[in-house]
Structure 1
Amino acid sequence: MIHSCISDVEVPSEWGMCDDMAVSDQPLSGYTVGITAERKAAEIGALFERRGARVLFGASMHTVPLPEDGELAAATEEVLAKPVDVAVATTGVGFRGWIEAPCAGERVVEHLRSASLLARGAKACGAIRGAGLSEEWTSPSEESAEILDYLLEREVEGKRIVLQVHGDPMLRFRERLAEAGAEVVPVAVYRWTDPVDLDALDRLIDAVIGGCVDALPFTSAPAAANLLGRADRTGRGTEFRNALRGRVFLACVGSVTAAPILAAGLDCAMPERPRTGALVRLVAEELPRFSRQP
């Protein structure tokens, strides 16, 4: 199932398609990979292009920082109002963005020095250390559910827990902690919206429906969810899902990212380690095998 052309789908030059390649050490030569990421899209695309793939860019979400609309400043003041027992960093970019925001800075760093800091994975851990703080524990699976279990296994009643949320308000996570007697203070550093360039996303959806995309790698759950949601909202949901089943190799960087894909009844592959490099290698190794399946 090698799609060497884009058929009737118009492909603008800004989608970053590379020239035809037939070099033996480029396992993705002749294949087309769709990139739905916003952050580091060019970097991810370049990794696939170096392996010979054509790359179609269609970001499926946009990250909007919150400092300018006052939400982050208000949450920060609430955090600073009383001592913090536990602080949870769910994303590296989110925790770093909070610390670097004008309303936070060194005041927040000093306020959190006496707290137990938990990290959802290596990037969040790196952000904690980058702020000059030390983590107590890092989730090996990089899943929020694992952090919740870690907290609930300990005595959280009466504890004040600061939760850096990652676009998703994590309502169930907060409810479970509140039910266990904790005071939870959420800190939202950014929110997710539709992408700036909706036309590019629509063209990518059309390319999938037209049978011109061989693989879709996902690096975030919101990107996967909004891709499916955009197809639904534009009346192409059923056609889009039918095109994905069996015809497109879906790969997710980890189980959290995979959740919307699996919930839609679609299959996906995941690398052993939840890293972008591992995701690219997985696609390079498995897509040729997948395309040879009847």
Structure 2
Amino acid sequence: MSEVAPLAGYTVGVTAARRADELGALLERRGATVLHGPAIRIVPLADDAELVAATRALLRRPADVVVATTGIGFRGWLEAADGWAMGDDLRRTLAASTLLTRGPKAKGAVRAAGLVETWAPESESNAEVLDHLLKSGVDGHRIAVQLHGEPLRDFVDTLRSAGAEVLEVPVYRWTAPSDTAPLDRLLDAVLAGQLDALTFTSAPAAASVLRTAERRGRYEAVLDVLRDRLLVACVGPITAAPLAGVGVPVISPARARIGALVRELATVLPARAVRVRAGTSTLELRGQAALVDGHLRPVPPAPMAVLRALAASPGRTLPRPVLGAVLRRHSGRTESVDEHAVETAVGRLRSALGTTDLVQTVVKRGYRLAVPAS
């Protein structure tokens, strides 16, 4: 028997714009079904008037200190400056400044540009960089901070309160997606219970999902699902901040990396699976599939709702009206579900599981999992 991939049977939502293909491929390699709805759009660097203006401002009045926060952002800034015929001037200006780098990737990008950082923190924490600056003294200093996707409001405001003049350099600025249809479909899947996990790789994407839900008049409904029924995974604490602020529990890997995020999901989701014995078989309920003695068996949504109800009370007979209520809640219908619909769902469940032995009919009473006697 071949080993089942850790995320087989699970559907994972991806909200990323940049590196969405990479994240999706990593998830699919571990067996997941991926639903992509980009929550943001990246403004191309070469077309970003704000980045051009910030670069010109830095060249006119060089900064005493330049903070490089990300490797990809720093490299992109230099490449864009080359395209505007400002690259050489920018490198000379940076070389004459005190360069601080946040983390090894930013340090690598600085050195690849032929520059040398003055200081880098032990961690990859903005807080440690800020603490170093404040201890060094910033009153009266001009400090350029390379941003990456989201404002560093607390960081910048603290420096200004301490007397620094701060120039924000907005590399990779985010805006709303030009086509919101994929994100709308992703939110529909969230509300319909068709996702097992939702991933975020940037704080702007998290904020955009909440704004889109509010725009559609489904804010509270989406929040209820994110808080109680869906596993929400963020690449790191900065990304998680907009969600944590509205009470959404999240999981994050120890290191803020896409690969680590996927590995975290591949550990946490299978650990949440429901496992029961039925007949001589072991069942493991995953997303929209069941492992029957280690073999993956896709199960349609309505029969899966029935299977989950039966597995929640293994061996107990559930009457047809109870299972009808399960199907009604699953479908979102207001009218009752008749016994024929229950029988149809059970029949489809048995077909999906590949055997009639696991779900027993209790004459005139209902259905039960064939739990062996203890």
TM-score (norm 1): 0.85
| Alignment counterpart, residue 52 of structure 2, candidates 63, 70, 73 | 73
| Alignment counterpart, residue 211 of structure 1, candidates 193, 201, 216 | 193
Is the CA contact 1:99–1:106 (under 8 Å) kept in the aligned structure 2? no
Q: Is 1:177 matched up with 2:159?
A: yes
Q: Is 1:64 matched up with 2:43?
A: yes
- Output the amino acid matched with 1:186: E
Partner of 2:18: 39
Q: Aligned equivalents of 2:103 and 2:13: distance in 1?
A: 26
Partner of 1:285: 267
Instruction: Mark the runs of 5 or more structure 1 residues left unpaired by the alignment.
Output: 1-21
Q: Aligned equivalents of 2:227 and 2:138: distance in 1?
A: 44
Partner of 1:196: 178
Q: Aligned equivalents of 1:158 and 1:231: distance in 2?
A: 44
Q: Is 1:268 matched up with 2:247?
A: no
Per-residue CA deviations over 1:251-280 (Å, capped at 9, x if unaligned) read: 111111111111110111111111111110
Residue aligned with 2:173, SS = strand
Partner of 1:96: 75
Per-residue CA deviations over 1:198-242 (Å, capped at 9, x if unaligned) read: 111000101011001001122111111111221111111111111
Q: Aligned equivalents of 2:90 and 2:2: distance in 1?
A: 53
Q: In percent, how many aligned pairs have the same letter?
A: 52
Q: Is 1:223 matched up with 2:205?
A: yes
| Alignment counterpart, residue 243 of structure 1, candidates 205, 222, 225 | 225
Q: Aligned equivalents of 2:45 and 2:28: distance in 1?
A: 34
Q: Is 1:50 matched up with 2:29?
A: yes
Q: Cα distance 1:161–1:196, how it changes in 2: closer, same or farther (>3 A)?
A: same
Partner of 1:119: 101
Of structures 1 and 2, the one with the larger relative CO (CA 8 A, separation 6+) is 1
- Indicate the structure (1 or 2) with the bigger Cα radius of gyration: 2
Per-residue CA deviations over 1:159-193 (Å, capped at 9, x if unaligned) read: 22111122434344323212222222222233211
Partner of 2:65: 86
Counting matched residue pairs gives: 273
Q: Aligned equivalents of 2:232 and 2:2: distance in 1?
A: 24
Per the TM alignment, residue 107 of structure 1 is displaced from its structure 2 partner at its CA by: 1.1
Per the TM alignment, residue 139 of structure 1 is displaced from its structure 2 partner at its CA by: 4.1
The farther-off stretch of 172-181 and 51-60 is 172-181
Instruction: Mark the runs of 5 or more structure 2 residues left unpaired by the alignment.
Output: 276-311, 313-374
Residue aligned with 1:188, SS = strand
Q: Please report the RMSD computed on the Cα atoms of aligned residues, expressed in angstroms.
A: 2.1
Q: Aligned equivalents of 2:153 and 2:228: distance in 1?
A: 34
Partner of 1:186: 168
Per the TM alignment, residue 122 of structure 1 is displaced from its structure 2 partner at its CA by: 3.1
TM-score (norm 2): 0.68
